[in-house]
Structure 1
Amino acid sequence: MHPNPVFRENDRGLCHTLVDQVGFGMVFAAVPDGPRVAHAPLLRHGDDRLRFHLARGNALSRHLDGQETLALVNGPDGYVSPRWYSDQRQVPTWNYVALEMQGPVRRLARDDLVSLLDDLSDRNEARVAQGSPWTRSKMDGNAFARLLDGIVGFELEITAWRPTFKLSQNKPVEERERVAAGLEAAGSAGIAALMRRTEA
């Protein structure tokens, strides 16, 4: 994460929105075999908790309960070319949005895992434009129980938030607009839009 404090975002609501909108991230922890990462759907549970599930066979699954863990959500990003500045005697860089959330993890009970899966499917099915939403009621109960046996649910209590919104806030307004226009033209419309909505 970038150390420049101008890129730190203290708006917790914005962090919540990032987690909710992206809904997918990485979970990191140290295990006896070394550091490991898992990629998983993430769901906020209240203001300071994050729930996720992993395959039972995942290298992290048997070690996370009680472990200090780091979760990361990435937002839009894009390469920034020096040619977009009025003074091109600069170096290339990268604008990006990233959020680290750290804290202890506990394993979820089976009922809480089922609730997590229902909440995840409800949230994501609502984003699908056509057809009626899928629910687990469309599955055979025995088949669902077998699938449930193959995964483990977890909840991370977020004790540290480390958001970085590197959006050229260290540049004058006119330069930021030049960079946003360059990013948009290069196909990075998401990061360009965030730059235009974020005050320096």
Structure 2
Amino acid sequence: MYVPPAFREDDLATLHGVIQQVRLANLVTHTPDGLVATPLPLFLVPEEGPYGTLYGHLARANPHWTLPATGEALALFNGPDAYVSPSWYPSKAEHHKVVPTWNYVAVHAYGPAGFFDDADRLREVLARLTDLQEHPRAAPWALDDAPAPFVAGLLKGIVGLRLPITRIEGKRKMSQNRSVEDRAGVAAGLAASDRPSDHAVAALVRG
């Protein structure tokens, strides 16, 4: 990932925070059939390995997991993003030397992808993924709420993914290369949008 110094994010806790906030990642591997990508909910175990380890699962019918991978796998986590209009820059009125851009947060996690089909490990992955998403709900659903034979049948239709992170890159492009006045204009413009995702970016631009 191309990361100019102004937008580089190296703090591991911050990178982990982005991973934990993103609800759906993309797993990409290079195979004899070319690049293959699968959207997956993944969870992070921060204390497992120097950069943490990712877990998830794929449908057994998905050929992605059966294709031999060359080199590292890549898990892509895209955080809040928003279009930035040059009309929001006060500097536009001064010199008009402004163009549109896009603000965004991205984390790329690399490592060897391993797959497993042990029922106990799969059940643990399913339970943890479910708990992470259900926890904020007033009446969270749990894997144990489903009949055991039904869950056992589901486990036969998936394979688990384990990806120990061997390197990690982060980019936080939030108008850091603009003046204080232009940043304030971007934040105000995004805050006035009808899109909730724009509001999230406005808060990040304000810092």
TM-score by length of 1: 0.90
Q: Tell me the residue number matched to 1:159.
A: 166
RMSD: 1.7
Report the TM-score, using the length of structure 2 for normalisation. Answer: 0.88
Query: Which residue pairs with 2:200 in the alignment?
Result: 190
- Report the residue type matching 2:172 in the other structure: F
- C-alpha displacement at 1:64, in angstroms? 6.3
Task: Say yes or no: does 1:17 pair with 2:17.
Answer: yes
Q: Deviations over 1:26-60 (max 9, x none)?
A: 00011222211101111001341111111111131
Query: Would you say 1:96 and 2:104 are equivalent positions?
Result: yes
SS at match of 2:178: coil
Which one of 108, 117, 135 corresponds to residue 126 of structure 2? 117
Q: For 1:150 and 1:8, locate their aligned partners in 2 and report how far apart those are by CA, in whole Å.
A: 40
Q: Which stretch of the first structure deviates more once superposed, 15-24 or 187-196?
A: 15-24
CA contact (8 A) 2:91 2:182 kept: no
Which of structure 1's runs of 4+ aligned residues deviate more than 6 A? Answer: none
Q: Deviation of residue 151 (structure 1)?
A: 0.7
Within 5 Å, which residues of 2 pair with 1:8-47? 8-47=8-47
SS of the equivalent of 2:65 reads coil
C-alpha deviation, 1:3, in angstroms: 2.9
Counterparts of 1:98 and 1:23, CA distance in 2 = 13
Please tell me whether the aligned partners of residues 66 and 104 of structure 1 are also in contact (alpha carbons under 8 angstroms): no
Identify unmatched segments of 5+ residues in structure 1. none
Separation (CA, whole Å) in 1 of partners of 2:112 and 2:177: 34
| Paired residues, number | 195
Identity %: 41
CA displacement 1:104-156 (0-9 Å, x = unmatched): 1122333222111111111111122x32x222222222211111111111111
User: Is 1:78 matched with 2:86?
Assistant: no
Gaps of 5+ in 2: none
